[in-house]
Each structure stands twice: as structure tokens, then as C-alpha cells.
Structure 1
């Protein structure tokens, strides 16, 4: 939506609902971000001043549905505290639960445009850290991806391809959430994942190839070698892309994801598709199957390069194999 039309809609709403009773008003959501569909509305998020009892409301303005979402003072205080800084550590993971509760609203404030504020509202808006939100998405989605990678492997090992196939799909989606946060695309919307992949300039060149990975179907779940390869490929791609962005785009958002997806999975001994790199505020680890090995950037990069084509130093390869960080994919093709 262009800025002139947006300003007109906001001013029309302000004529109906005075902004004087709010500390902060932010416009955000899919319509603003260019991710709208036929039933999308324009969302405004407003934090009322003390004593203002105005309620959320819908307005029809120039053919656009404009929704005013009133956020209580208590909720806004919790959002500020959740996204003030990234604090998930090896001994305190409580911020994960706070993020899962406030992820949608946090996204709306992080990606939104401030259209009205008092001095207090402006100060509080600035306390919501984009980097903290980005790091929380990357870490929480990495954790959920890891759970699904484990389920996918469990399904493969027990010949239950229904479980493995579904888990691989979720793992790829969570991995792509890590990647999107890594390139600075922070809009929240579960149904919008693929649209975000296809439209973001840092990732759109990979869209068709990634999407094609989810279109493999089989009528014989118990014997389908094609489906098994698809499951392993989705897991490998999710693990590789998420781990690469956790390494390369933690400090600074990546401008482009330069990878050749055809080289992510090789033959023979290579990085396990069921392991990934996880970053906390005080540690980095190679994680998988309920095990985590503290690591550093150099070792993590060495693991990431183990694609079945590039041989690692023998001592490093032996250590990785002993810890289950490398795997021979031939076992899945037998």
C-alpha cells in the first residue's frame, strides 16, 4: 500500500476515533506488508492512555476494512519486556514461552509504522528490539525444527512414512522461518510462509525449488523409495538452510541466500540431516536427538561444509561420527 493512501485511511480513522486517548498507534499487518489477500484488512494497534476505555472496532473506509486493535497496558508492558533483549540461555529458557505467547503482536510492533505517539509511547515503542525479535524467531523455530527432524528420523527408522513425511514438511516450514528471520522478513502469518519466500528478494530465487520439495506424493507409503528420498531431502534442506543463516545472519541480516540446493545433500558420509546449529545468548551448539554439543563458529562451519563431497580432516570426521553429527545416507536407500 502506498504511503499517500495509507495516510488518508489513517486520518479518516482518526476522525472517527480520536488518537488523543492513546499513548501509541501503529499500523501493521499483511495489507501494509504487501502480503494481503481478498479478505485482508488494514490493522492498527493502539495502546490506550490510563482511563481510556475505548474498545477494538472495525471501520469501512474507501472500500478497505480498517481494524483498530486496542492493546491493554498490561499486554503492552509484557510485549516490551519480552522483546527488550534476547535472553534465552542454557540455564533460563523462559523467554521461549513468552515469545510463543506474544509472537504475533510482537511482529506487528516490530514491522509496523508508528502513526501517533506521546513521548511515553514513542519511548516504549523504541524499546521493542527488532534484533531481539529476530533472534527469538530464529532460535524458537530452530528448536521446533529440531523436534520435527527427530520425529522424521523416528518415522523413517520405524518405517512409518506417514509420520516421517508430515514431520519433514513441518521441519522445512520451521527451517524457512529461521531463514526468513535471517534475511529480516519478520511478518507473522502461518498461511503466508510460501508467499513470503516467493516475494522476498533475498530468497525468491529459491522459491520454486523449495516449494517443489513439498509436492512429492506416493500411493504406497510402506515401500516408496521416492518418498523416503523426499523426506530426507526436506530434512537436509531445512537443517542446512537454518544452520547456515544462524551462522551467517545472526549479527547482520543477510542480503541474499546464496546456495545451490542441488548440492545440499550428497552421497555417503555427510552432515546429518537430523542435526542443526542452535544459538542461545550464551552458547552455540550442534543439536539433535536430545543431545547438544557446545561448539564454536569454526567447528560449526566445518560441520556445515560436510556435504558428502568435501572430506573433513580425519580427526574431525571421527569426532563428528562418534557423536552422531555425521551420517551415511546410504542406510536410507537400502
Structure 2
């Protein structure tokens, strides 16, 4: 059976009917249809998520209305929830390397803010329109990139520690988690914003900017050892899991760092597959870029460094395809920059 994956006219008509009923009992400031259908991610049991803000003291009941064969789920917009959403998505000028509070905002706040930026507006009064206008997709994109890049780095560090202990199971899974965070960063950088890991593959497959790197990402997310026999020796585990761990690590750092560099100020238009050469310096795969409103950080296991954008792009460009002499021809500062990156362990000659 085929189910609608996007918001249709029938969904909107169903919501309008519910709005007409509610408006007889409440003064409504905002009425907006959003949710998975509005983001093109609907499935067979998707409700029509209807976000409603009322004016006055009469509480709005959180319930489902059946209209035109669809379940229209009322999601009351409270002033408290809306204020938290606007704080997170309205202005990121306060977000610096010393003020990272917004990185820890709960998923329900992020989900709520993102959903309010996309959907079909059934009704707003002047106050409601003004409140919705405070939510910025550009701010949200940067917020999500920053958080997902941070979490990519955290799990790459976990993988480093696991490998040092000979724990290939943990390293394998930590790099898989790191890669999912990196993909989330790249999706956000491409202006595909949503909160809900279950739709990760659908979103990855539909984003044109990631189409060239998509086959590698999908392959690296797979679990190839479901039939692995019990009791493998450590050397056998390393051989069996090593290639997958290495590929996930390389891709996670590359994808998250690309999002930080090319999706921060504007939507990322394309991401080429990573290259791995053997003739020159190459970035360390356990290092990753993250970003704040006041600069960029290059993070690695148990350490992090503030870097300028030129140094960050130099590090990102080190894919082993250019010799040190070729890089040196671009200027002595480039050669010195590579030497510094090698010195701090962020690159290898």
C-alpha cells in the first residue's frame, strides 16, 4: 500500500477543519501544520502534526482529531516552549568557544524549533507571525552543525581509546556513531534539517549535495560481521574490523569538517568523495573540526587547538595527494603550516 510521504491538500483541509472547530472555543495566535509529512518524511502511521498557540487562559487540549480519514494531532504551543525555541534558533551571536550552553539544548527544544520553521501556516495573528519570524534557518543550520561536529569528535576520541585498549568492538561502534553525527552535520549544512535519527538514510539519499559521497557513506554504515564467530583472537578482530573502523573514521572526520567549513555561512552546494593519496602529508583521521561563532577548533584525542580558517582549510586539504614540495610552492606559510600540524599530531607526513 502506498502512503503519502509529503503534506497533501487533503492533510491541509483536515487541519483547516480542526482549526475552524478550535477557533470557536479559543482565540488562536498560531496554527501551523508541520511534522514528518511537512518535511517529506511521512510513512504509514504519520499523524498530521498541528501546532497551535492560543491567547487567553483557556487551556488547549493535547488530543487527536479524526478528519477526512487522517489523525490530526494537536501540539499546543506554550509561551515557555516557544521562548526556548526562539532562544536557540533566533540568534547565535552569543555562541562562542567560552559560551557553549546552546550545544546542550535538549532534543525536544531543537525538534520544536525546526518544525516551526517549515510547514503550512493555517493562521497567524500579528503577534504570532512576529514570533515565528524570529526563528532563523541560518542560525539553526549553524547550531546543528556545531553540535553534530562536536559529537563526531567525541566519538572519534572514544574510538581512539578503544583501539589503544585492543577493544575493536567498541571502536567499531563508536566510529559508526561518529559517522552518523557527521552525516547529520552534512545534512544540516545542506539545509536538510530534522531531528529524528530514524530518517537518516532517507534524508541522505535525497540530498543532491551529498550524492557523490553517498555510496561511500552508505557502505560504511553497514555492519559486515553479523556472522562473526565467537572467540576471535585480538589479531583476528583487528583484521576483520580494522578496515571498517578506518573507513568510518576517515569519512566521519572528513564529512563533519566539510560541514563546518562549507555549510556555516551558507548552504553547502556539493561534497566530493574524499581522496587518500600516498605521496604527501595527510590529515590524521582522529582529528576533526568544530566551530563557534568566534572561530574554529581543531580537536583530537584529549586535545584541541584554536585555528584560523586558513589553517583549518589547509588541514582539510591534506589528503596525501600532494607532496610537501608541491604544497611548499604555494608559499612558505603553507609549508610551515603543515609542519605545525604534524607537530601537534593533526597530520602525518
* Contact 1:162-1:221 at 8 Å conserved across structures: no
CA distance in 2, matches of 1:47, 1:210: 40
Task: Quickly say closer, same or farther: Cα 1:73–1:145, change in 2 above 3 A.
Answer: same
Q: CA deviation at 1:99?
A: 5.4
- Tell me what 1:113 maps to: 120
- Tell me what 2:216 maps to: 209
- Bigger Cα Rg: 2
Q: Which runs of 5+ in 1 are unaligned?
A: 329-334
* Contact 1:45-1:70 at 8 Å conserved across structures: yes
Which string of whole-angstrom CA distances, capped at 9 and with x for unpartnered residues, describes residues 272-322 of structure 1?
111111110111121122322111221111111111222344433221111
SS at match of 1:111: coil
- Tell me what 2:21 maps to: 16
- Tell me what 1:273 maps to: 285
CA distance in 2, matches of 1:101, 1:287: 28
Q: Which runs of 5+ in 2 are unaligned?
A: 1-5, 329-334
Q: CA deviation at 1:4?
A: 2.9
* Contact 1:111-1:186 at 8 Å conserved across structures: no
* Contact 2:19-2:31 at 8 Å conserved across structures: no
TM-score, length basis structure 2: 0.87
Q: CA deviation at 1:3?
A: 5.2
Please give the root-mean-square deviation of Cα atoms over the aligned residues, in Å.
2.0
* Contact 1:153-1:164 at 8 Å conserved across structures: yes
- Tell me what 1:260 maps to: 273
SS at match of 1:5: helix
SS at match of 1:251: coil
Which string of whole-angstrom CA distances, capped at 9 and with x for unpartnered residues, describes residues 87-125 of structure 1?
321221112223545111111112233221110000000
Task: Quickly say closer, same or farther: Cα 1:101–1:7, change in 2 above 3 A.
Answer: closer
CA distance in 2, matches of 1:127, 1:10: 24
- Tell me what 1:236 maps to: 250
* Contact 2:152-2:181 at 8 Å conserved across structures: yes
1:319 corresponds, among 340, 345, 349, to: 340
1:83-98 paired onto structure 2 within 5 Å: 83-86=89-92, 87-98=94-105
Task: Quickly say closer, same or farther: Cα 1:325–1:24, change in 2 above 3 A.
Answer: same
CA distance in 2, matches of 1:161, 1:319: 31
SS at match of 1:31: coil
TM-score, length basis structure 1: 0.91
SS at match of 1:171: helix
Which string of whole-angstrom CA distances, capped at 9 and with x for unpartnered residues, describes residues 1-59 of structure 1?
35533431221222332285221122111112221122111111112213131111112
Determine whether 1:305 maps to 2:310.
Answer: no
